[in-house]
Amino acid sequence: MALKLQGHSKLKKKRDRMLLTMCIPAMIKLFVFAYLPMIGIYLAFVDYSPRKGLSSEFIGLKNFEFFFKSGDAFRIIGTTIGTNFLFIIVGLILALSLALLMNEVKSKAFLKFVQGVSFIPYFLSWLVVGYLFSAFLDNYGIISKIISKITGIKDYSFYTNSDYWLIILTVANMWKSVGVTAVIYLANIISIDKEYYEAADLDGAKWLQKVFYITLPFLVPMICVTTLMNIGNIVRSDFGLFFFVTKNSGPVMRVFEVIDTYVYKLTMESSASDAVQRSAAAGLLQSITGMALVLGSNAVVKKINKESSLF
């Protein structure tokens, strides 16, 4: 079809000009709120003083040096990557299992019910989710009361120490998103040609055999792509999960601080004189490694399945 317009290069030029005008509002917005602030990356390399702003003294990589020497860096980066890694694996296993189970449901109404209900958490903000979870975890909480009874600790609250928080954060994260991910997998399972299963039935294949020899192999490309994309985002955390579900409580955050919460707190809550440059340095580090990982995983995705790559 494109060929037809090639003969009309004048028309194509006019069309392209019109199409370009359509892009302008989006590009202006991104230019102002995404590209212009990139100038601020420079703050990571200066000894920031609010009076001087961008003309503060240039100190090279010193800020990064401080960040790493303070010992914060390795802990925070480790927590960020570690928790994300856990979420990827648990999320994959749970979502896949759920999708496989949903696929076996014969009753359309029941399936619709389960799907609808499992989508509800997706519509709540992390802020609200944080409060909802506190109804299980704070000193009046249902689970805390049980722990109080077992251990005899009066008014036990999960927010006063970092025990169990790896589990709590994982559960909260799964609770919020696994329903949606499962439905995405289910949509792919449904699209598998039924003939494979009919042939397998004739051969007397059991359910598990069909899962392992038909369904899962069919899903492998998608699983690889999703997982790689997630790995590309492994240095970025869900700010809401780590800030609101933990209620930003000191004892928990001492262990579960991630880059995003760290940067936010330096920006908004810190009165330290070097908060700006430290925040800038941590943010830049995250951005650069994040980009490298996205590009890297995209290159791998491209090798596996060209159509699924981002670019």
Binder among 81, 92, 132, 255 for another protein (CB under 8 A): 132
Q: Least Å distance between CB 84 and another protein?
A: 17
* Selected range binding another protein among 2-10, 68-76, 161-169, 250-258, rule: CB under 8 A: 2-10
Q: Per rule CB under 8 A, is residue 279 in the interface with another protein? A: yes
Question: Whose Cβ is closer to another protein: residue 199's or residue 295's?
Answer: 295
Q: Give the C-alpha separation, 177 to 270, whole Å.
A: 32
Sign of CA dihedral 269, 275, 281, 284: positive
Q: Which of residues 203-262 bind another protein (CB under 8 A)?
A: 207, 221-222, 239-240
Q: Per rule CB under 8 A, is residue 23 in the interface with another protein? A: yes
Q: Least Å distance between CB 150 and another protein?
A: 14
Q: Give the C-alpha separation, 281 to 40, whole Å.
A: 11
Q: Per rule CB under 8 A, is residue 150 in the interface with another protein? A: no
Binder among 59, 86, 92, 180 for another protein (CB under 8 A): 180
Closest CA to 167 of 136, 125, 202, 196: 136
Q: Least Å distance between CB 301 and another protein?
A: 14
CB 278 within 8 Å of CB 67? yes
255 CB-contact burial (10 Å; exposed 0-12 / middle 13-18 / buried 19+): middle
Q: Least Å distance between CB 63 and another protein?
A: 12
Q: Give the C-alpha separation, 26 to 30, whole Å.
A: 6
Buried b / exposed e along 215-230 (16+ C-beta atoms within 10 A): beeebeeeebbbbbbb
Q: Per rule CB under 8 A, is residue 272 in the interface with another protein? A: no
